[in-house]
Amino acid sequence: MVAEGATRGSEGPDRHADGHARPRIGVLGGTFDPPHVGHVAAAAAARDELGLDRVLLVVANDPWQKSPSRSITPAEDRFALVEAAVSGLEGVEASRLELDRGGPSYSIDTVEALRAGVLGEPADVVLIVGADLVATLPTWERAAELAKLATLAVVARPGSPDVRRASGWHVLTVDGPSLDVSSSELRERLVHGEDVEGLVPDPVMRCIRARHLYAVGR
Ligand code: ATP
Ligand code: MG
């Protein structure tokens, strides 16, 4: 007997009232300025290791924790780059949820929308973060509530601690390839005309050139 709506039974994942399991959607949110092989590898590893139905790379409209301290590439350019990054990658998609919502990008709003069925049916959400972000979680908007509405999947990142727990969260770990690459480093390299071979997927590099981003081609 299943109660109205979804319930978490001892038998496994949340279920709809008709008994079928809710899809499990991974959310890798970020500024993606620009997206790189570390993002793609993290998404693919989470998809495979956790058996997620879909992984969304959710492009922040206004990354409120970063925007006061540096200029951010326009959101539509970053979205185009993320679309290029995931082209041909099964089960991994670029998501406009935060762009279309507008305003500052809070993960709690995205998680609530997915749980409420914004993609067609109510979903369980796995919030995928690099290990560098775990220490910042308490500063996120409505953090305690967020911890109750999503499972946290932590992806290893070079130079970041090996995280196995986070206060208030149900934590899963993803043993991704742990690639030593960041958007900050890439912006630096691109602006100085340095080689980024192997760090940025080819379709992303083509999109950067076509849109003249990061002073490339100037
Ligand atoms: P920046 O240097 O500008 O902060 P970034 O490379 O950290 O850029 P973000 O857009 O800030 O990229 O990150 C989005 C998400 O991807 C975060 O959860 C971050 O921890 C994760 N992430 C970024 N790079 C890696 C990587 N190399 N390995 C694993 N996770 C990563
Ligand atoms: Mg970052």
pLDDT along the chain (218 residues), means of 10: 41 65 97 98 98 98 87 97 97 98 96 98 98 96 98 96 93 94 97 95 97 87
Rounded alpha-carbon distances, angstroms, from residue 193 to 35, 36, 73, 78, 187: 18, 17, 18, 20, 10
Q: Is the pTM of this model over 0.85?
A: yes
Nearest to 46 by CA among 37, 57, 55, 59: 55
Nearest to 14 by CA among 110, 119, 149: 149
Check residue 216 and give its pLDDT: 85
Check residue 69 and give its pLDDT: 84
Rounded alpha-carbon distances, angstroms, from residue 187 to 62, 176, 195: 18, 23, 11
Question: What domains can you pick out in the chain, each with its CATH number?
Answer: 24-215 (3.40.50.620)
Check residue 57 and give its pLDDT: 98
In degrees to the nearest 10, what's the CA dihedral of 27, 31, 37, 39?
-20
Check residue 134 and give its pLDDT: 96
- Which residue from 183, 184, 204 has its CB within 8 A of the most atoms of ligand 1, so it is best to mutate? 183
Measured from the CA of 180, which atom of ligand 1 is nearest? Answer: 27
Q: 97 in helix, strand or coil? A: helix
Q: Which residues contact 64 (CB under 8 A, 6 or more apart)?
A: 104, 105, 106
Sole residue written with tokens 């500024």: 31
Check residue 13 and give its pLDDT: 60
Tell me, using a 6 A CB cutoff, whether residue 80 lines ligand 1. no
In degrees to the nearest 10, what's the CA dihedral of 205, 207, 208, 212?
140
Nearest to 211 by CA among 184, 196, 190, 194: 190
Cβ pair 78, 32 in contact under 8 A: yes
> What is the number of helices (H) and of strands (E) in the chain?
7, 6
**H or E, element range at 24:** strand 24-30
* Burial profile 37-65: b = 16 or more Cβ within 10 angstroms, e = fewer: bbbbbbbbbbbeebebebbbbbbbbbbeb
Check residue 173 and give its pLDDT: 96
Tell me, using a 6 A CB cutoff, whether residue 31 lines ligand 1. yes
Tell me, using a 6 A CB cutoff, whether residue 129 lines ligand 1. yes
Closest ligand to the CA of 60:
1
Check residue 14 and give its pLDDT: 67
